[in-house]
Homo-oligomer: A and B are copies of this chain.
Amino acid sequence: MADVPTIHDVRAAAERLEGEVHRTPVMTSQAIDAIVGMKLYFKCENLQRVGAFKFRGATNAVRSLADAEAARGVVTHSSGNHAQALALAAARRGIPAWVVMPTNAPAVKRRAVEGYGATVVPCEPTLAARESTADRVQAETGATFIHPYDDPRVIAGQGTAALELMADVLGLDAVVAPVGGGGLCSGTCIAVHGLNPNVAVYGAEPERANDAQRSLEAGHLIPVGAADTIADGLRTSLSERTFGILRAHVAGIVSVSEAEILHALRVVLERLKLVIEPSAAVPLAACARLHPALAGKRVGVILSGGNVDWDALPQLLASAT
């Protein structure tokens, strides 16, 4: 596979994923359409295994490995949905997985990864410690490192969500995907434009982690520092690879405020009756900003995940009203 996956890689991923990932439903709401002034189609990756689209990319990476390579296992550093996704993908192939996680990660996240049968390797909470620890695990075990987003197999896997969306909803005018490290949005671009170059793809990110917007405006990569946004899945920065894909494909990057994210989150909870995590509310918040450009249009919205911290969410929602 080349450095940048193509629609053929996304299609190959879709075949590899059959029977492994849920074909998630697409939901609609007349009430939300009336609020936003568009016809919205929500791709429910919150209902995906492990509660997020991340299971697609992780599964494609794990299932792409040759048997001998796979037998030595996989390793990553993450305390988010990718960690759980890789753990389950490895377990389903019957191979070991190591997840490097900072010692200050919440115990509930560590237990979730261990619950899927992976080994958590603790490290100091710095990027250098994460990387050196992952290197050490690789050296000791021969495991393959699977990056959360800067990996063509992962990007192709994430693209399968948009592939299904495009097959299930004909005549879409646009698709909006959240942007953190850019894996999902890159895969979405490749899938959507591989099927129909006339469908506009927008990236959506928090104002407080708007590295994609700033990088595209500047024409070169500008990583964010420690981003303090409730959309905790979108705090990471693009890689050169995902930056290149987004630059070639997106019609625009829309950044939204914390208040807009919370408002969109509440609309989904109240109207769609679906539990989504704050990161997954960012594309809907962006839709409101894309009016009037998309007024009356048919717009696909990727609800990326549903792993909510129920100990924290209540205060967030209360603060939003």
Contacts and interface: CB of A to CB of B under 8 A. Distances in A.
Interface string A255-271: 00000000000100110
A315 B314 CA distance: 7
Contacts of A127: none
A96 interface: no
B266 A51 contact: no
A313 interface: yes
What copy number does this chain have within its complex? 2
A318 B314 contact: yes
Contacts of A314: 313-315, 317-318
A25 B274 CA distance: 13
Interface string A228-252: 0000000000000000000000000
Interface residues of A, number: 22
Nearest to A277: B273
A303 B313 CA distance: 23
B275 A273 contact: yes
Contact of A273 (B270, B306, B313): B306
A321 interface: yes
Contacts of A59: none
Contact of A46 (B27, B47, B51, B273): B273
Interface in A41-65: 46-47, 51
A311 interface: yes
A272 to B, nearest CB: 8
Of A25, A274, A311, most buried by chain B (CB within 10 Å of CB) is: A274
A308 interface: yes
Interface in A263-321: 266, 269-270, 273-276, 306, 308, 310-311, 313-315, 317-318, 321
Interface string A141-153: 0000000000000
A2 to B, nearest CB: 35
Contacts of A313: 314
A273 B275 CA distance: 5
B274 A273 contact: yes
A97 to B, nearest CB: 19
Contact of A274 (B275, B315, B321): B275
A273 B317 contact: no
Contact of A275 (B51, B269, B311, B321): B269
Nearest to A305: B273
Interface in A1-58: 25, 27, 46-47, 51
Interface in A112-131: none
3 closest residue pairs by CB, A with B: A314-B314, A273-B306, A273-B275
28 contacts: A25-B25, A27-B47, A46-B273, A47-B273, A51-B273, A266-B310, A269-B275, A269-B308, A269-B310, A270-B275, A270-B308, A270-B310, A273-B274, A273-B275, A273-B276, A273-B306, A274-B274, A274-B275, A275-B275, A310-B317, A310-B321, A311-B318, A311-B321, A313-B314, A314-B314, A314-B315, A314-B317, A314-B318
